[in-house]
Amino acid sequence: MKMKITGIVVILILAFAIPIDSFGQGKGKPKGPPPWAPAHGYKAKTRHIYFPDQNFYFDLQANEYIYLKGDAWQVSVALPSLYAGIDLGGVLKVELELNTNSPQQFNSDHIVKYKAEDKGGKDKTKANKGRTGKGKVPKK
């Protein structure tokens, strides 16, 4: 009898000692921004990162990618497979200071304003590859 109670106590202690994530629970959205994005609090006005060469957005608050698939904008918590082979840390990024959940509504303006190269191959933006708009590199 005493052995049975000791066994139950040990099982209860182990059940509460094992983190809940060990059971696959609590795994949803990633915590914090991706490694290529500015750290939380880096620039409070920045809500979205725009990738002009690829023409998609990343929402820093929602941790979601906003991208064009066919004629419709899609939202995904994971990087779309279309962009999986791209090193996002080394491509042109522009920090947008838009107070909206839908930066894509301004996409036609962004395509023109942040176009990376003109026909002569000259860089038309102030940003460089691996840097964000306005020539600032996010702190890691």
Could you list the mean pLDDT of each consecutive 10-residue stretch along the chain, which spans 140 residues?
76 68 48 64 74 94 93 94 90 89 93 70 41 38
Report the distance separating Cα 132 and Cα 45, nearest Å: 14
φ/ψ (deg, to 5) at 35: -60, -30
Q: Given strand 48-51, what is the order of strands in its sheet?
A: 72-76, 64-69, 56-59, 48-51, 94-96
**pLDDT for the residue numbered 119:** 43
**pLDDT for the residue numbered 20:** 53
Q: Are 65 and 79 in contact (CB under 8 A)?
A: yes
**pLDDT for the residue numbered 23:** 45
Q: Is the whole-model pTM more than 0.75?
A: no
**pLDDT for the residue numbered 46:** 80
**pLDDT for the residue numbered 98:** 85
